[in-house]
Amino acid sequence: MKEILKILEQDAKVSPEKIATMVGLSVEEVKEKISELEKKKAIIKYRTVVDWEKAGEEVVYAFIEVKVTPERDHGFDAVASRIYRFPEVHSLYLMAGDYDLSVVIEGKSMKEIAYFVAEKLAPLEQVQSTATHFVLKRYKVDGVILEGKEEDRRLPITP
């Protein structure tokens, strides 16, 4: 199953027929395994990586360091749950180090992100402080290089 997951992680559009050939199983076995993985939530969602700039859309990303006060009996989970429910939140991580949560925000402008931080995130009771870092350029997203040609790592075949 690990082989199937690795294949789908690289390209969610690979057909069960092609996967079957790659892993040496029947098409039906591959379909069953994929179905099992979906039911177990090992496969959570199928995604497309989009370079919005090339698609003509302006999208701004920011990484926000957040220091919070954990709640008794719930730790960081309760405040994390409140934060990840905001539609602007692209990703949320519990961190070790100088801050507790790393929040990735997606918006249409820096002003929109600043509004989110000032009006929605910072006023939360458990939030002690925030530090916002705007993304200036994305080079690689989810393992996909956005700029330039991807390096061919195959060894040359010599006769």
Residue 158 above 80 pLDDT?
Answer: no
Residue 31 one-letter amino acid: K
User: Which strand ranges, in their side-by-side order, compose the sheet holding 89-94?
Assistant: 89-94, 101-107, 60-68, 127-134
Mean pLDDT of 127-154: 83
pLDDT of the residue at 154: 63
Architecture of domain 60-138: 2-Layer Sandwich (3.30)
Long-range CB pairs of 13-22 (<8 Å, 24+ gap) are none
pLDDT of the residue at 49: 82
Q: What tens digit of pLDDT does each residue of 71-104 get?
A: 999 999 999 999 999 999 999 999 999 999 999 9
Mean pLDDT of 121-137: 96
Mean pLDDT of 118-122: 97
pLDDT of the residue at 54: 83
Residue 122 above 90 pLDDT?
Answer: yes
pLDDT of the residue at 10: 85
Give 155's pLDDT tier (boundaries 50, 70, 90). low
Tell me the backbone φ, ψ of residue 61, rounded to 5 degrees. -115, 150
What is the H or E stretch that residue 37 is in? helix 27-39
Q: What tens digit of pLDDT does each residue of 4-50 get?
A: 999 998 889 999 999 999 999 999 999 999 999 999 999 998 888 88
What is the H or E stretch that residue 144 is in? strand 144-145
Mean pLDDT of 116-127: 97
Burial track 33-70 (b if 16+ CB lie within 10 A, e otherwise): bbeebeeeeebeeeeeeeeeeeeeeebbbbbbbbebee
Give 151's pLDDT tier (boundaries 50, 70, 90). low
Classify 57 as helix, strand or coil: coil
Task: Estimate the crossing angle of helix 2-10 against helix 16-23, to 10 degrees.
Answer: 130
Domain range list for the chain = 2-39, 60-138
DSSP string, 82-143: HHHTSTTEEEEEE-SSS-SEEEEEEESSHHHHHHHIIIIITTSTTEEEEEEEE----SEETT
pLDDT of the residue at 50: 84
